[in-house]
A and B are shown apart, each in its own frame.
Chain A
Amino acid sequence: MLGPSVLVLATFFVAPLALAVRDSLTSWDLLSPPVYVGLANYARLVASGELAALVGRTLQFALVVVSLSMSLGLALALALNRPGRLVAFVRSAVFSAYVVSWVSVALLWMWLLDADQGVFAAGARALGLGRVGFLTDPGVARLTLAVVTVWKITGFSMVVFLVGLQDVPRDLLEAASLDGAGAWARFRHVTWPLLRPTAAFVGTTSLIASFQAFDVVRVMTQGGPVKATTLLVYAIYEQVFLDLRVGRASALTVVFFALLSGLSMLQLWLMRGRGGRA
C-alpha cells in the first residue's frame, strides 16, 4: 500500500536531495568532471560572509512576507466572511492575484513602480517624498519585492482563513456574546483559538512561498541593486547558470533545505503546540 507514495517520495524528494548533498562536496563547472573537495564549498560560503548575508536577507524578506500576508489575509477573511454579491466579487478579486502568473505580476508592478513614470512614484512626489527608487534604492528594493509578494499571495491566505472561519460554530460565538464578550473578546477567546491550526498552515505555506521567491527577483531586480535582493534561491540560480559553480550552488541548496525545514517545524510547533492538541 505504501509502495507508490514511497516511490514518489524517493524520486522527487530523497534522490534530488541526496544528489545535492553529493554535489555540494565537489567542485564542478558542468563542463569538466567534478572533483571531490570535501566541505570546502561550505567553508568558503561561511568564511566569505556570503552565507550569512544571504540567509539574513532571505529571513528579513520572509519575515515581512509571512507577517504581512498572514495578518492581511486574516483581516480580509474576517471582513469578507459574509454573504452578498459585492462581497463575493471582492473575495474573487483578491484571490485572482494568486492565480496570475508570477512573471505577469512582476511586469505589472515594474510598470506601476517605475521611478519616473510609475503611479507610485507620482504619488511619492505628490507627498513630497522626492524621487523614490522603489526598485533601484538598495534600502528599499527588498521591501518593495516583499510587498509585491504579499500582494500576490495574500489572496491564498485569505481563502484558507475563510475556510477556517466557516468551521467556527456560530453558536459558540453566540454563547460568547451572551457570556458578555464583545466583538474583540469573541475574536480573542473563541475565533482565534479555533483558527490556530489554520494559522499554522497559512504561516508554513507562506514561509515556504517567501523562501522560494525567484521569479519576482529575476524579473524585477536581478538580485540588485548591490545584491540587496539576492535571496537564497536566486543566489543558487546565479551560482549554477551564471557562474557555473555547481558545487557551491548545491551547498546553498542543502543549507536552504535545512533552514526551511527547521523553520517550518518550529512554526508548526509554536502554532499547534501551545494550543494543546488543536
Chain B
Amino acid sequence: MELVLDAICKRFVGDGKARPPHDALTDVSIEIPKGEICVVVGPSGCGKSTTLRMVAGLDEPDRGDIRLAGESLRGAPPQARDVAMVFQGYALYPHMTARENLEFPLKMRAVPADERRRRVDEAAELLGLGRLLGRRPDQMSGGERQRVAMGRAIVRKPRLFLFDEPLSNLDAALRGDLRLELGLLVRRLGATAMYVTHDQVEAMTLADRVVVMRAGRVEQIGPPREIYERPRTSFVAGFLGHPRMNLLAAVAERGVVRAGPFAFDGAGARDGALEIGVRPEDVVIGDDGHPLVVRAAEPLGPETHLVLEGGGAVLRAKVPGFAGHLVGREVRASIDPARAHLFDPGAGGARL
C-alpha cells in the first residue's frame, strides 16, 4: 500500500460557545494502493478535509498513524513530506507570475536553475499554460488559475497528490471539462492521489475507489460501481446518485414487504419496520402497478425526472425523453423487488 491511514482519531477542542468540542474523526482507516485515485466524499463537516490535511501535515491526528510508502509521517512537517496539494481556492502566490509560482516548489528544494526551467516548461506544455507563464494570478481566469495550481503540484513529481475540492470554485461547464482533463492527467502521470470533494459526479467518474464519510467516520469504501449498486447504509445510498435514491418507510410481515402503495415478496426479511431504497431509474412506469399522481416534472432533454405521489408515499422516477406533459396526470408505477435495497430504519441505516 502506498498510503495507509491507520485508525486516525481527532478531537477538536472548540472555542467556547461558538464551536463546542467535538470528535472530528473517529477511527478513520483508508488504504490507497500505488497509482490509484481515491476520492473521499461526504457532506460538509464530515471530516473529509480534515483527513486530507492530516495527510498533508497541516493537522496532526490525536491517535492513529499515517504511512506513506511504508514510512510513518508522524511528526513530519508538511515541507518534509513528499506530498503536493491542490487547494480549493488555488492558493497561488499573488505577487508571482505563473512561471514563478510553478518554480517555487523547485526553488525551495534547491533544484538548479536550468533544471527548474526545463521542468516548468514541461509542466506548462502538459497543461497548455504556455501563454500564461508571464501573467500573475489576478490576470487569469478561474480555470487558468486552477491549471497553474495543478502545474505547481506536478512539477515536483511528488509521491502523492492531494486535491481539496479543486473544482468547486469553477462554473459548471468548466468544471466538467477540467474534471475530465484532471482525471486524464493524473492517470497519465501514474500518480497516487487522494481527492476530496462533495460532488458525487467527481467521485463516480474519477475514483478507482470511493470513501464515503459521515460525521467523522468512514461509512463505506469501495469501487464506484460497488458503492452505487450495493450501498452499505441508507446514508451512502442517499448520497450517491442523482436524483437521490428513494428511501421509503416499510414494514415486513410474514415475508411480505409493504411500502406506501407497494407490496412485494420480501423473502428473508425479518418481520418489523425497515426502510427500502429504490433508485429513480428502478421505478418502472408502465401499464401495471399502482396509480400515482405526477406532482412535478423536470425535463432535462434525454430524460425527465418525475415526482410521484400516492398511497402515502412520495417518490422520484426517471423516464426517457421529454415528459413534461405528464404533470398532474396519473401514471402506474411499480418497483422491481430485485432492485430494491433494504435498510435498518435506525440511525445507522445498515443494509439488511
Contact = CB atoms under 8 A, between A and B. Distances in A.
Interface of A: 83, 169, 171-172, 174-182, 185, 189-190, 193-194, 275-276, 278
Given A185-B108, A189-B104, A177 B91 contact: no
B85 A181 contact: no
B93 A189 contact: yes
A174 B104 contact: no
A174 B91 contact: yes
A180 B91 contact: no
A195 to B, nearest CB: 11
B94 A182 contact: no
Contacts of B83: 178
A179 B152 contact: yes
B93 A174 contact: no
Contacts of B89: 169, 171
Contact of B78 (A83, A172, A174, A190): A174
Interface in B87-118: 87-89, 91, 93-95, 104-105, 108-109
B84 interface: yes
A178 B93 contact: no
- Indicate the member of A177, A179, A181 with the most B CB atoms within 10 Å: A179
Contacts of A83: 15
Contacts of A275: 95
B168 interface: no
Interface in B2-33: 15
B317 interface: no
B79 A172 contact: no
B104 A177 contact: no
B236 interface: no
B77 interface: yes
A174 to B, nearest CB: 5
Given A177-B79, A178-B78, A181-B79, A172 B91 contact: yes
A157 B28 CA distance: 46
B58 interface: yes
Contact of A175 (B81, B87, B109): B87
A85 to B, nearest CB: 11
Interface in B65-79: 77-79
A242 B316 CA distance: 93
B95 A172 contact: no
A182 B85 CA distance: 16
A169 B91 contact: yes
B77 A172 contact: no
